[in-house]
Amino acid sequence: MRKLFSLLLIVFIANLLLTACASSGSAAPAQAVETYWNVIVEKDAERLPTLVCGAYEEEALTVLDSLQAVTARLENLSCSQTGTDGDKALVNCTGDMVLTYDAEDQNIDLSVFTYEVVKEGGDWLVCGAR
């Protein structure tokens, strides 16, 4: 009986560990996109290059530069991985980026894009949008 209990306990712990690893792997690309948008609205030009692949860095900095004259905030941002395309994870988000200029708000729907995220050097990096 004791051996059976020990075996069941080991199987249960192994299952928990495998489930945790699987869920964190699929959540990581989505978290990368959420972090990217948070850094964009914070206008953190120093941190931004660490969140994007080299091929997307110039475009990401252009997006950040375009927000310099406005106040930006995120509303109801939530991202999830929706698939893969070769070595890229595909991420869709819901929510808006709200830009305020002279007390006038303009909403940008972040769900209209599918974000491409790649794993480089152990980190998930935003590498474009479709």
With respect to residue 74, please indicate whether it lies within any of the assigned structural domains: yes
Residue 77 identity (one-letter amino acid): L
Task: State the pLDDT at residue 77.
Answer: 98
Whether residue 52 lies inside any domain: the answer is yes
CATH of the domain at 119: 3.10.450.100
Q: What is the extent of the structural domain holding 83?
A: 28-129
Residue 75 lies in a domain: yes
Q: Where are the beta strands (DSSP E) in 31-70?
A: none
Give the residues across from 3 on adjacent strands: none
In a domain, 6, yes or no: no
Closest alpha carbon to 126 in 62, 31, 44: 31
83 vs 27: CA distance, rounded Å: 12
In a domain, 3, yes or no: no
Does any domain span residue 21? no
Is position 12 within any domain?
Answer: no
d(CA 45, CA 5): 55
List, for residues 5-53, the tens digit of each pLDDT value.
333 334 333 333 333 333 345 689 999 999 999 999 999 999 999 999 9
Number of domains in the chain: 1
